[in-house]
Structure 1
């Protein structure tokens, strides 16, 4: 524990966050991390669906691909909010999971079991293709086993890693798919290529370049992550 500007900080949390981020960045493309990244993509697509429901629309189905792609098929609702919800939702899911990682053992078990049940329901209601169904079923079983048989440290580690990856997903995915595309991407009137990323779709309806949306979402994701770590470190340092 260390005092910084009159506040006690739990440096173990700060150190853990540094190590986790470093491992994630260095090994982001490692095949062993694919199941975790697909889970983060799933949270991203679920966020699209939740935004659609909250704005009067619905989600008909969702799908994942082995190359870390995802697609939520929505009907109605606010297109602006639904498109914005993907990366912002990833950051918020990540913050919630980071908080749960340091909750009590009973809360962690309940949360992981709840995630397993929720995945099962989502698979039944919204998944139509074999790959996504197999992944969702496998992940639900893993979470179910972790929630019932996993030790407290393993449960904490799982929530922490998934939470960190969910926050980082917005930054890394935006950095590789959006910011690298250039400042005019997504605006056909200005000569930018139109693709299928959330930011580029949003650019077509707002005329604000995808590059700008990418910067905004990345900044929010980074702020959410650092705020989450700071809150956890200072609370546990008291």
Structure 2
């Protein structure tokens, strides 16, 4: 079996066991929770900027919740950008780890830059900035390792992030979906949630198929 595929399967199984069978296992994966929250809120911020809006602050809370305060921009894309954007970013980390190990270190450098920009430019709380700076320090430390180890770590982070995003589909994006369904009332919120989940699962499937079985 492909070594990368084994790493993905082991990561997925370990995540599932921690969440479902280990007491306080959610605390073990709290760093993943906080990182995915960052990806989610950065997704909102990114789509606000690219659609002509602005970002005032990005917040990450100790319980894994968060929010981004934006102004202007195209609201439907900004709302979708949290859940779908974080899934795309998680899959991007996974793809780079599998297919482009030489780019893994540079990916961490870009990630550090984004983390620090968020912590400083979009400052919201001491906790948020400390978490993002801590992630930056860890990323810089990891970047000093061999490129193959860095690639494997990106695979683990990407896999865990995507699994968390899929598992959290009915909770994490609920407020975004409620607002989205009011702007685009074609379907009720519950159906939009399923559609968003289906998009994430499809993106992940195509990514894994292309990355592992090309």
Which TM-score applies when normalising by structure 2? 0.88
Equivalent in the alignment of 2:207: 228
Equivalent in the alignment of 2:22: none
Equivalent in the alignment of 2:34: 38
Mapping 1:1-238, distance limit 5 Å:
11-28=2-19, 29-147=25-143, 149-176=144-171, 197-207=175-185, 208-235=187-214
CA contact (8 A) 2:43 2:86 kept: yes
Identify unmatched segments of 5+ residues in structure 1: 2-10, 179-195
Change (3 A) 1:139 1:223: same
Q: Whole-Å Cα distance in 1 between the matches of residues 105 and 184 of structure 2?
A: 43
Secondary structure of 1:77's partner?
Answer: coil
Identify unmatched segments of 5+ residues in structure 2: 20-24
The one-character-per-residue Cα deviations of 1:143-193 (angstroms, maximum 9, x if unpaired) are 11111x223343123211221133223321113457xxxxxxxxxxxxxxx
Note the aligned Cα RMSD (angstroms). 1.9
Which TM-score applies when normalising by structure 1? 0.80
Q: How many residues align?
A: 208
Give the CA deviation at 1:80.
1.0
Give the CA deviation at 1:129.
0.5
Give the CA deviation at 1:104.
4.4
